[in-house]
């Protein structure tokens, strides 16, 4: 059972490692201490939330705005945790460790398996491998980032918005309500950008979620 799961997970691990290298390099080259992206990846372990938080910090936003944005982005993992709660195994340690490994990729990979035993194995194989690949990539990127200097010289300052756009594009293609929410949020953020501190427009853009929440009645 394990060999096919490892084989099927390998490409996900590779992609995660590559994105992790980008995250670590840009965070450090942008001026953050090396330990910040490394510690964040170990303790927070949430790719999109990490990109958003660090992007806000590098843009001049405060730590509270960065933390609030990351927290709001990660609320989706509560539903993910419920979806895989029965595959984590018994015991408090298994549930705590499993909760830390919950990601979009791991949950999707787990739920695609045909039976409970395979779902449990898939969760731990994919989750542990993804955690290792992400953190190894972040450390490698952070070490390399110390030699990069100004990220704008290499165009790396565009990586944060590019990665975030890549994360939301699949939903925007298939979900009309999500497109309306994104357009409303983007318009609101652009409108208030000249008048509010850095980081605040991103938080205000979350008002677009009100539209998404009314999907059932408007789509």
Higher pLDDT, 101 or 30: 101
Token pair in block for residue 76: 């989706």
pLDDT category of residue 75 using cuts at 50, 70 and 90: confident
For the chain, percent of residues with pLDDT exceeding 70: 77
Mean pLDDT, rounded, for 198-203: 64
Mean pLDDT, rounded, for 132-139: 94
CB 151 within 8 A of CB 141: no
* pLDDT at position 219: 42
pLDDT of 148 above 80: no
Higher pLDDT, 66 or 168: 66
* pLDDT at position 39: 92
* pLDDT digit string, tens, across residues 33-58: 999 899 999 988 887 778 878 877 87
CB 121 within 8 A of CB 3: no
* pLDDT at position 218: 45
Q: What is the chain's mean pLDDT, rounded?
A: 78
Mean pLDDT, rounded, for 78-107: 82
pLDDT of 140 above 60: yes
Distance of CA 64 to the CA centre of its chain: 18
Token pair in block for residue 127: 């989750």
Decide: residue 3, CB within 10 A, 0-12 exposed, 13-18 middle, 19+ buried.
exposed
Exposed e or buried b per residue across 24-49, where buried means at least 16 C-beta atoms within 10 angstroms of its C-beta: bbbbbbbebeeebbbebbeebbbbbb
- C-alpha span between 216 and 148 (Å, rounded): 48
pLDDT of 209 above 60: yes
Comparing CA positions, the residue from 128, 133, 9 lying closest to residue 1 is: 9
Q: What is the dihedral of CA 164, 143, 8, 42, to 10 degrees?
A: -80
Contacts of 174 (CB under 8 A, 6+ apart): none
Indicate the pTM of the whole model: 0.68
* pLDDT at position 216: 45
- C-alpha span between 201 and 65 (Å, rounded): 10
CB 53 within 8 A of CB 67: yes
């Amino acid at each position: 059972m394990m060999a096919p799961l490892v084989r099927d997970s390998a490409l996900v691990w590779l992609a995660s490692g590559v994105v992790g290298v980008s995250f670590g390099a840009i965070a450090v080259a942008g001026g953050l201490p090396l330990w910040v992206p490394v510690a964040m990846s170990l303790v927070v372990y949430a790719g999109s939330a990490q990109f958003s938080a660090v992007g806000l910090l590098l843009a001049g936003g405060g730590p509270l705005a960065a933390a609030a944005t990351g927290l709001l982005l990660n609320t989706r993992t509560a539903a993910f945790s419920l979806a895989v709660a029965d595959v984590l195994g018994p015991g408090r340690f298994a549930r705590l460790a499993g909760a830390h490994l919950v990601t979009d990729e791991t949950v999707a990979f787990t739920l695609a398996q045909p039976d409970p035993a395979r779902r449990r194995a898939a969760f731990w194989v994919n989750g542990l491998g993804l955690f290792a690949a992400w953190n190894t990539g972040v450390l490698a990127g952070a070490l390399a980032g110390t030699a990069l200097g100004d990220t704008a010289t290499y165009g790396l300052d565009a990586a944060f918005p590019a990665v975030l756009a890549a994360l939301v594009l699949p939903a925007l293609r298939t979900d009309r309500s999500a497109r309306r929410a994104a357009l409303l949020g983007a318009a609101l953020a652009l409108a208030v950008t000249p008048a509010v501190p850095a980081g605040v427009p991103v938080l205000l853009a979350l008002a677009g979620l009100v539209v998404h929440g009314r999907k059932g009645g408007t789509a």
